[in-house]
């Protein structure tokens, strides 16, 4: 049976194929996904830890228990932050600067795009 297939294809099918992807390509794809998952875990751990810590009380943060588990979640940290007038002033200043920079960049970019299109 295999000799009939080899004769029909002219013996050109020397590579082993698994579905529509060759075995080497499939291994490469698996390794790519493996390293992508490691990359995601490595770079998402700090923001996740910050979020988990923001839901803890001060006593729970300083306790020597599991740092990844919130036993008594609270939003008091967010309430304290969003009602602090100094933080609101800093937030407003950052928003104003960001909007000015974006506006100025858009004006320059539109004028440059128009001149390059001519």
Q: For the chain, report the end-to-end CA distance as a whole number of angstroms.
A: 67
Contacts of 43 (CB under 8 A, 6+ apart): none
The answer to whether residue 16 is domain-embedded is no
Q: What is the pLDDT of residue 108?
A: 97
Instruction: Indicate if 66 and 100 belong to the same structural domain.
Output: no
Instruction: Indicate if 96 and 51 belong to the same structural domain.
Output: no
The answer to whether residue 1 is domain-embedded is no
Q: What is the pLDDT of residue 68?
A: 85
Q: Which domain holds residue 54?
A: 21-74
Instruction: Indicate if 26 and 52 belong to the same structural domain.
Output: yes
Q: Which residues of the chain are under the pLDDT cut of 70?
A: 1-18
Instruction: Indicate if 31 and 61 belong to the same structural domain.
Output: yes
Instruction: Indicate if 27 and 65 belong to the same structural domain.
Output: yes
Instruction: Indicate if 98 and 53 belong to the same structural domain.
Output: no
Whether 102 and 94 have beta carbons less than 8 Å apart is answered as: no
Name the average pLDDT for the chain: 86
How many domains is the chain built from?
A: 2
Q: What is the pLDDT of residue 109?
A: 97
The answer to whether residue 33 is domain-embedded is yes
The answer to whether residue 6 is domain-embedded is no
């Amino acid at each position: 049976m295999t000799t009939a297939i080899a004769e029909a294809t002219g013996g050109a099918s020397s590579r082993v194929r698994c579905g529509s992807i060759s075995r080497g390509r499939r291994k490469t794809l698996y390794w790519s996904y493996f390293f992508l998952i490691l990359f995601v875990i490595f770079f998402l751990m700090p923001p996740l830890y910050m979020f988990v810590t923001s839901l803890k009380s001060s006593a729970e943060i300083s306790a020597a228990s599991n740092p990844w588990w919130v036993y008594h979640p609270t939003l008091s940290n967010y309430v304290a932050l969003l009602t602090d007038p100094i933080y609101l002033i800093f937030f407003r200043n950052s928003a104003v600067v960001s909007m000015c920079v974006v506006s100025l960049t858009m004006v320059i970019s539109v004028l440059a795009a128009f001149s390059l299109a001519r």
